[in-house]
Amino acid sequence: MDAKIAALSNEKRTNWDEKLPFVTFNYNTTIHRTTNQIPFELIYGRKPILPFDQQQPLVTLSQDPEHKTKLNQHLSVLTEQAKAMILGQQRKYRERYDRYRTNPIYKINDIILVKTLNKRNKFDIRYEGPFKITQQLEKKHLSYNILRSIH
């Protein structure tokens, strides 16, 4: 979404907040690759009416007593389809990642740095440490007990 906002904003990026409704509308009315669904339809159970769609001159609403039940069933089907797609995509991403990943080999008394995952901005530290490995907890998952001090 950042790239879309940047593309629509002026050169100095001072009007990005004015572009949010357009980017949000685009995001909510476009099929997502992971779910293979439109977020709007997942929430409201119907396709969105787009500004360029041909409008009907007169809209009539029928009183269907089973409408709520039908809508809930439709939403349940959409949700299950989206969940299945998400799980499939996650499996693909994991397989692609694991194909090229090699597990690092650490030994007791090795000195390491730990990657900081919750950076706030680009100037925050990327790694903490150094730390000294004192114990190997599990071989398969490479979980280690790490001391904060190496002295």
How many beta carbons lie within 10 A of that of residue 23, not counting itself?
19
Q: What is the pLDDT of residue 35?
A: 92
Alpha helices in 12-138, H assignment, sequence order: 16-28, 39-44, 67-100
Could you report the per-residue pLDDT of 54-100, keeping only the tens digit for each? 777 766 667 788 888 999 999 999 999 999 999 999 999 999 988 88
pLDDT in tens, 110-146: 888 888 887 676 667 788 888 887 777 766 555 455 5
For the chain, the domains span: 31-100, 111-147
On whether the CB atoms of residues 132 and 111 are closer than 8 A, the answer is: yes
The answer to whether 132 and 150 are in contact (CB under 8 A) is: yes
